[in-house]
Amino acid sequence: MVDALPPRRSRPTMNDVAAHAGVSLKTVSRVVNGLDHVSTDKFERVTRSIEALGFRRNEYARQLRQGTTATIGLVLEDVADPFYSLLTRAVEDVAFERDHVVLAASSAEDPVRARALIELFGARGVDGLIIAPAGGIDVSFLRAELESGSSLVFVDRPVAGIDADTVLVDSREGARKGTEHLIRHGHRRIAFFGDDESVYTATERRAGYRAALEAAGIPFDDSLVHMTVPATAPVSEIVQRVLASADPPTAIFSGNNRWSVRLLRVLRGRSDDLAFLGFDDFELSDVLNPGITVIAQDASAVGRLAADLLFRRITGDTAPVQRVQLATALIERGSAERTGPFLDR
Amino acid sequence: MVDALPPRRSRPTMNDVAAHAGVSLKTVSRVVNGLDHVSTDKFERVTRSIEALGFRRNEYARQLRQGTTATIGLVLEDVADPFYSLLTRAVEDVAFERDHVVLAASSAEDPVRARALIELFGARGVDGLIIAPAGGIDVSFLRAELESGSSLVFVDRPVAGIDADTVLVDSREGARKGTEHLIRHGHRRIAFFGDDESVYTATERRAGYRAALEAAGIPFDDSLVHMTVPATAPVSEIVQRVLASADPPTAIFSGNNRWSVRLLRVLRGRSDDLAFLGFDDFELSDVLNPGITVIAQDASAVGRLAADLLFRRITGDTAPVQRVQLATALIERGSAERTGPFLDR
DNA sequence: GTGAAAGCGCTAACAG
DNA sequence: CTGTTAGCGCTTTCAC
């Protein structure tokens, strides 16, 4: 036994507390974990030592021993997209209520990055994972993840071949409803803009659009349909071409909020006689002139539900896998109910 | 020694791999960590075993041993706020490049929740923390956090009394510039709307607004200044009262994007003769009619810079603490450069 | 009530 | 080049 003590470690451990309080390691553990079988005397001594030393339990050590991490992972396209940022916030809130923390990451639409992130999270032994699966995601890999113990919930897009809870918005029905609304207002030439075919929601929405047309006896015209990721598309040129065609559309259906923003930006400079309806609401849609009519989806509800389902699994629920479809709401604001030059000065 | 083996554990460990490959634990560790001094023969055997067993290193065990977690924490007001969601995305990107994951959480403007989150993160031994400090945050607590080993970077708002890197936007100068712009366009009665006094950026922007007025010889009129959190404020009534006053403003300066959205929503229904300028850009500001002139701040740059600074600290940089002020940009779109009824149909 | 000892899965230190 | 041993900070037996 040497006299000189080593300099205090950056974070005190339970051993330090035990030494300080003059009790055994186990007693400290009991106090920290709120267990009984500790005399009030020792309980107080330990409590005081914890205070004095500023002790906080090292979660990693606990987790290593216990095998649970009180952490969930969230992987989606891009937190900066309003739909996903709302969803993220809802997941965070549920996690916080349950004393879990959330590892969050954007896959940037890149399946390789998505996989890397999921692996990173998996190696940290997250209790569960909420994933908005990117197009080309590796299914067998996800299945392995599921089997190795972390629960999985998919949001926004389903993944075929994996038995996991899924929370979706009923895109097809929403798009059908929206298109029908335009038809009801006299439109028969309706252009459709959506993400490319690899994106589940894009094809679902197109299917809904098509279903509405067919129900109304309007022939589906492929030249009115444009499927590309708007971020990189030459939106202005596309719009120009469509509107200059022989039999131009009288209405536009935008398949998501990214497209809506880009389309509105282009349309603002023109004076075409158009109606407009967008899938997914966005901030200021009500401040534009005319207000933008949308099929709204509740991103918070998706996040909350997904998190609830996940925690149900984490806590051992073995009920059959669920696939929830959330309904959309048509919000009329003017842009789809009138005609006239669009967003003109 | 019993004959029957227990059923396979959910995740294989290095020991399992070692047994499978017929080598020692340490050899596996060497392979996993990409170290040399392993014969090609064994290297391949181990690699195959890893494949076969689907082994992935348990990060918690590694972290416990090494004392580093490859995790950073991010605590801000609300990920659903566009400014913060952009910032979050930037932080995620930097972290990903550096093989770190990010624990993200919204404090919901609640200092108690903020503290709880930081403690939760601290207990997980995050290597570093990026914090947008909520109004009443506990300074001594943060200081303890800093001393116990995690690096700290503040964003958006500084914290007095703690020696930590800080990345800010030059709010005061931005507001001064914006107000000056309005003055240059002939306005002398300019209303100011901002968050309440507890919010650093709000008072800074008000100070900039005031400085511009005074530089132009315009008396500061407190009845034109409104400091409240817009989420809960009766915006419509406030606006009505202000515009109905004896000497009403001819221009409005909105202190942040939350206020801008709410103000624009109210102004849309009215036909007042007003100019408008907002602090912080927002999506569709260019699609509105007139386009909204703003003082833009670069949220991504804030996030990127903060993350860079944090990683510099994490990797041992002991240079003096930095306080970075990012410049803002005036973007003219029409709303501040003209007069006439506002967003009128 | 309390504590000693073992061990979670990994890496560091030191042999061979 | 390879393996053995110890130990990170905690929880879990299982004695006392």
Q: Answer yes or no: is pLDDT of B128 > 70.
A: yes
Q: Answer yes or no: is pLDDT of B344 > 60.
A: no
Q: Answer yes or no: is pLDDT of B148 > 90.
A: no
What confidence score (pLDDT) does residue A10 get? 66
Across all strands, nucleotide nearest B18 (CA–C1'): D3
What confidence score (pLDDT) does residue A142 get? 87
What confidence score (pLDDT) does residue A341 get? 64
Contact A302, A167 (CB under 8 A): yes
Query: Which chain B residue shows the shortest CA-CA distance from A266?
Result: B287
CA B29 to chain centre: 38
Across all strands, nucleotide nearest A27 (CA–C1'): C2
What confidence score (pLDDT) does residue A271 get? 79
- Distance in angstroms, CA of B144 to C1' of C2? 32
> In the predicted model, what is the mean pLDDT of chain A?
90
| Distance separating alpha carbons of residues B130 and B308, to the nearest angstrom | 11
Give residue B269's pLDDT band: very low, low, confident or very high (50, 70, 90): confident
User: Helix and strand tally (H, E) in chain A?
Assistant: 12, 12
A37 touches strand C (CB under 7 A): yes
CA distance B23 to chain A (A): 23
Residues of A with CB below 8 A from B103's CB?
71, 101-104
What confidence score (pLDDT) does residue B144 get? 82
B63 touches strand C (CB under 7 A): no
Pick A80's closest partner by Cβ from B86, B116, B120.
Answer: B86
pLDDT per position as a tens digit, A136-152: 788 888 888 887 778 99
Which CA-bearing residue is nearest the C1' of C7?
A65
Across all strands, nucleotide nearest A16 (CA–C1'): D9
> In the predicted model, what is the mean pLDDT of chain B?
90
Question: Span A93-100, mean pLDDT?
Answer: 94
What confidence score (pLDDT) does residue A266 get? 92
What percent of chain A shows pLDDT beyond 70? Answer: 95
Half-sphere exposure of B297 (CA within 13 A, CB side): 31
Give residue B54's pLDDT band: very low, low, confident or very high (50, 70, 90): confident
What confidence score (pLDDT) does residue A342 get? 62
What confidence score (pLDDT) does residue B7 get? 34
Across all strands, nucleotide nearest B41 (CA–C1'): D1
What confidence score (pLDDT) does residue B2 get? 30
Which two tokens mark A52? 């004095």
CA distance B67 to chain A (A): 10
- Distance in angstroms, CA of B57 to C1' of C10? 8
| Distance separating alpha carbons of residues A248 and A275, to the nearest angstrom | 12
CA distance B217 to chain A (A): 35
A27 touches strand C (CB under 7 A): yes
Question: Span A286-311, mean pLDDT?
Answer: 96
Q: Answer yes or no: is pLDDT of A207 > 70.
A: yes
Interface probe, candidates A69, A71, A84, A85, chain B, greatest B C-beta count within 10 A: A85
B23 touches strand D (CB under 7 A): yes
Question: Span B236-246, mean pLDDT?
Answer: 93
Q: Answer yes or no: is pLDDT of A1 > 50.
A: no
Of B162, B141, B214, B178, nearest to B330 by C-alpha is B178
What confidence score (pLDDT) does residue A245 get? 93
DSSP state of A245: S
Sheet containing strand B275-279, edge to edge, reads B225-227, B190-194, B251-254, B275-279, B293-296, B329-331
Amino acid identity of residue A244, one-letter, is A
pLDDT per position as a tens digit, A112-168: 999 999 989 988 889 999 999 987 788 888 888 887 778 999 999 999 999 999 999
Q: Answer yes or no: is pLDDT of B10 > 60.
A: yes
Give residue A7's pLDDT band: very low, low, confident or very high (50, 70, 90): very low
Question: Span A89-112, mean pLDDT?
Answer: 94
Contact B63, B95 (CB under 8 A): no
Amino acid identity of residue A249, one-letter, is P
A25 touches strand C (CB under 7 A): yes
Give residue B9's pLDDT band: very low, low, confident or very high (50, 70, 90): very low
A284 touches strand D (CB under 7 A): no
Residues of B with CB below 8 A from A287's CB?
261, 264-265, 268, 288, 343
Is beta strand A329-331 parallel, antiparallel or unpaired with respect to A293-296? antiparallel
Contact B273, B339 (CB under 8 A): yes
A36 touches strand C (CB under 7 A): yes
- Better-scored residue on pLDDT, B247 or A9: B247
Pick B79's closest partner by Cβ from A10, A79, A120.
Answer: A79
DSSP for A60-81, written as a single string: HHHHHHHS--SEEEEEES-TTS
Pick B85's closest partner by Cβ from A69, A80, A92.
Answer: A80
Inter-chain contacts counted by CB atoms under 8 A, chains A and B: 171
pLDDT per position as a tens digit, B174-217: 999 999 999 999 999 999 999 999 899 999 999 999 999 999 99
What is the SS3 assignment for B229? coil
Of A204, A208, A211, A206, nearest to A224 by C-alpha is A206
| Distance separating alpha carbons of residues A312 and B20, to the nearest angstrom | 36
Residues of B with CB below 8 A from A60's CB?
60, 63-64, 69, 124-125
What confidence score (pLDDT) does residue A340 get? 66
Question: Span A85-104, mean pLDDT?
Answer: 96
What percent of chain A shows pLDDT beyond 90? Answer: 68
